[in-house]
Chain A
Amino acid sequence: MKRVLARTVYMVIVLALSSVAVFYAIRLSGGDAVAARVPASASAEDREAVREQLGLNDPFHEQYFDYIGSLVSGDLGNSLTNNAQIGSMLTEHGRNSLILGAAAFILVFGVGIPLGMLASLRRNSWWDGGIMTFSVAGMAVPNFWLALLAVWLFATQLGWLPSAGCCSPKQLVLPAVVLAMEGLALTVRMTRSAMLENLNQDFVRTLRSGGLSEVKVIGRHVFRNALVPIVSLAGLRIGQIVGYALVVETIFGWPGLGQVLVNAVLRRDYPVAQFFSLVLVTIVLLSNWLADVGYSVVNPRLRRG
């Protein structure tokens, strides 16, 4: 309990510090924001007027607290490129990202854990070899390259699935699989090694010699123990999915938070870049916090500390 509280306080402090860092980083490109708003032929005075109007000449801490104040009051501002309201961008793209992220998350655990179990229970068989080869390949191939291969095979050659777009179930398949691949491969490996470790324990032999059926030994005892390290790392997988979503959403034209942020950075749309940087940083920090807390909840040995 003490640990959970400590981690929560730590997370809040870090969140505050990161918001300052993100704010400052995006402000560094403030000059470009001016350039984006005035024609190239504008005079120095005009530029200065725009700077003043944007509040870029105020002291840094004032700008920061103004910004946080406007966030709290729900006034998120508008995009510089198409004047869209950032608030409605958040709900729309947030929903899309949630769909993609949830699909990838389900794949990582829903497919990764059964595959890892199969590999461990049929150890040194063809199943094991095949699954582990798949797992090594999943970690070695860069995801943008995997995305391209998948588009080439399933969209260009076979024509089974669309190559890009949002948000029908068919369009979801490729981005979700590509986004999940590395986490899936890692989960398979971890499940396999955690299962093997537990299968070799003395309590398993005791249970078996006590006449418990194999299904119960595996399901109730071995699997439950093996699940601890895997589930406790679910938070880290979320962070990983957020990072890769930046690339995968851009490749597949999936209009989620990652694509919005990348496009905003490329177009120097700094109110959008700033806000969505903060959103993604917050998600990552929350998932790291979840990983920390999850670990101490499922691992009784850490509870005292």
Chain B
Amino acid sequence: MHGASDRTSFEQFVDGSSSWMLTLAMLLTGHNRADAEDLLQTVLERAYRRWRRICRTGDPAPYVRQMLVNASVDRWRLLRRRPEQPLGPDDSAASAGRDESAALGDQDLLWRALAALPPGQRAVLVLRYYEDLTEAQTAAVLGCSVGSVKTQGSRALAKLRGIVGTADAGGLANRTSSRGATHE
């Protein structure tokens, strides 16, 4: 059973972390906002069931992150017999300013690239480059070996290089060098 304090602390966590969690869900699902929100609500409902236990371990964020990653992979396993959905127009891109065309171009490329990856490889990239986890930490979250993370990661990057290289034809290095300073 949950008390009022559990509910309050859960709502505070959701308020403070919803953007991060939804972005993570979007990256893990390969840019389908409806799927990402559905995934996030499912995970948060499950997290609330054991909220007291989660909070006892300290920061709930790593636990919720692990639940999101696991749920995204599980969901893909359930749905993989469905035909692949073409990428639709991006709500967030449409709502962003038109003057950010370079960033939008990058994001469009990112979504296309992520959507082309299997969820396991996508999860590795998201954990390594969005969550900034080490290979060991990524392995712990995914419940696999560090070797497996390395293999999945290099396969994903190779596939990504093919997609990005085809789409961008050399512009990547220039863009990265011009914007990379702000993120390093």
A and B bound?
no
Residues of A within 8 A of B (CB): none
